[in-house]
Every structure is written in C-alpha cells, then in structure tokens.
C-alpha cells in the first residue's frame, strides 16, 4: 500500500514553501505595545476571505545543555494560561536588525545569568500559524560560564520570580511526553535535542543559518 511519500520510486521531500496570496486590504484592529491584531482581505483565487491574526516580531529560545547532558528549565508565570510553566530561556526579537543569536545570548544572560561559547541552530517553527505569524528559532547553547556578578541583569515583573532547575535531557523529554510540560519551545526544543543527540548532533546548523521565516521589520 502506498503511503504517498514516494513517486516513481523516489522520495518526495517534505518542505514548507513560500506561497503568498494577494492581500487586497490590510487593517490594524488593535495596536499593542509588542504586537498588533490585524485583519487582511485575502484573494484565495477561488474566493476572497478576511483573516484576523496577531502580527508578531518573532522570538528565540535556548536549549542550554551542561557537561552532564542536563537542560536548564525556568519556571515562569504566564498569565494568559494562568499557569507557571517550565520553559527554556526565551525572549522577543523586538530590537530592529538584531541577529537572532545575539538576542538569544542576551536572553540567556538576563534570565539565567549564563554565557555560552558554543551556539547552534537546533530547530525553527511557527508557534501558531493559524492565528499569528510568530516565527521562533530554538538554539542549542553549550560550554557555559556565569555572568559576572557586577553585570547581572535585575529581573522584574514575572521574571523576578523565575525558578531555575537543571534536569537531565531524558527526564525533560519524559516530562514532555507525559503531558507535564506544555511550553511550546520546551516541547519542541527538548524533543529536537533528544533527536539530534541520537544522530550524533549532525543535524545542528550554524547559529547564523538562514531564517527566511523571520518577519522582516520595517
């Protein structure tokens, strides 16, 4: 029985492709501090539809591994879901023109008081493509050292109560599969790290690997 993955004996590549439809109209419904709620009028060739979505600058997350193959997770309150979630260090790409890895390094220093010498791109994904255009890149960071005491960031708001915990990568993956961990960057990043490790880390890409999905800021 054919599973649809081969044509004439050759594997068919599964690759997302850029295929924009014509936007006939664009309206900002709500202008926010970080992201906006917008409505587009879109020509789908056979019909015209209106689609509302969050216009988002994008974000980065960091799967941090120490020499004992432990991953760093942070417990942080997330108000929309009313829960404290275990997450990797992460943050918005809200500095115009900033390379993604530079933003990730800043978040690692601010949220975990750590500096990493070795950086790779681990995995890229869209967080909620049916409802917003947020593209997120997950880095793998290793070879760690602490931020000097006199250079540490003063954490505020939700970040003030962050709890840090080192967890074995296997235990973190098990927590994801049990349904105990729900943050998308933790789910995607931890499982990607386990998969990459099983393949000898050969899937890792350079930290500055092309990322065309990242929203271009005006």
Contacts of 207 (CB under 8 A, 6+ apart): 101, 119, 120, 121, 139
**CA-CA-CA-CA torsion for 146, 173, 75, 143, nearest 10 degrees?**
10
pLDDT at 143 over 80: yes
Of 178, 174, 107, 179, nearest in space to 138 by CA: 107
If pLDDT is split at 50, 70 and 90, which confidence band does 132 have?
Answer: very high
User: pLDDT at position 1, please?
Assistant: 44
If pLDDT is split at 50, 70 and 90, which confidence band does 13 have?
Answer: confident
Per the CB < 8 A criterion, the answer to whether 62 and 141 are in contact is yes
Q: Is 159 a catalytic residue?
A: yes
Of 57, 144, 66, nearest in space to 108 by CA: 144
pLDDT at 190 over 80: yes
pLDDT at 170 over 70: yes
What is the domain partition of the chain in residue ranges? 18-55, 59-206
Catalytic residue among 87, 159, 163, 213: 159
User: pLDDT at position 6, please?
Assistant: 54
Average pLDDT, rounded, for the chain: 91
- What CATH code is assigned to 59-206? 3.90.79.10
User: pLDDT at position 149, please?
Assistant: 74
CA separation for the pair 158, 99 (Å, rounded): 25
Burial class for 161, CB neighbours closer than 10 Å (0-12, 13-18, 19+): exposed
Residues in the chain: 218
Q: What are phi and psi of 133, to 5 degrees?
A: -105, 25
Read off the pLDDT of each residue in 179-201 and give the average, rounded to a whole number.
98
pLDDT tens digits along 53-92: 999 999 999 999 999 999 999 999 999 999 999 999 999 9
User: pLDDT at position 217, please?
Assistant: 63
């Amino acid at each position: 029985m054919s599973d649809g993955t081969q044509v004439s004996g050759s594997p068919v590549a599964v690759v997302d492709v850029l295929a924009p439809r014509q936007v006939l109209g664009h309206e900002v419904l709500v202008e926010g501090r970080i992201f906006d709620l917008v409505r587009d009028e879109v020509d789908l060739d056979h019909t015209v539809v209106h689609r509302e979505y969050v216009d988002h600058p994008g974000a980065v997350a960091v799967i941090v591994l120490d020499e004992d193959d432990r991953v760093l997770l942070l417990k942080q309150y997330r108000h929309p879901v009313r829960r404290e979630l275990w997450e990797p260090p992460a943050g918005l790409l809200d500095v115009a023109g900033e390379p993604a890895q530079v933003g990730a390094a800043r978040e690692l220093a601010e949220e975990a008081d750590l500096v990493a010498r070795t950086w790779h791109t681990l995995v890229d994904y869209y967080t909620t493509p049916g409802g917003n255009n947020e593209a997120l890149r997950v880095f793998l960071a290793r070879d760690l050292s602490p931020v000097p005491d006199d250079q540490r960031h003063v954490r505020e708001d939700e970040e003030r109560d962050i709890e840090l915990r080192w967890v074995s990568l296997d235990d973190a993956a098990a927590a994801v599969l049990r349904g105990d961990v729900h943050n998308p960057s933790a789910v995607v990043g931890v499982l990607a790290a386990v998969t990459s490790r099983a393949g000898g880390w050969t899937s890792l890409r350079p930290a500055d690997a092309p990322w065309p999905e990242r929203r271009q800021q005006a």
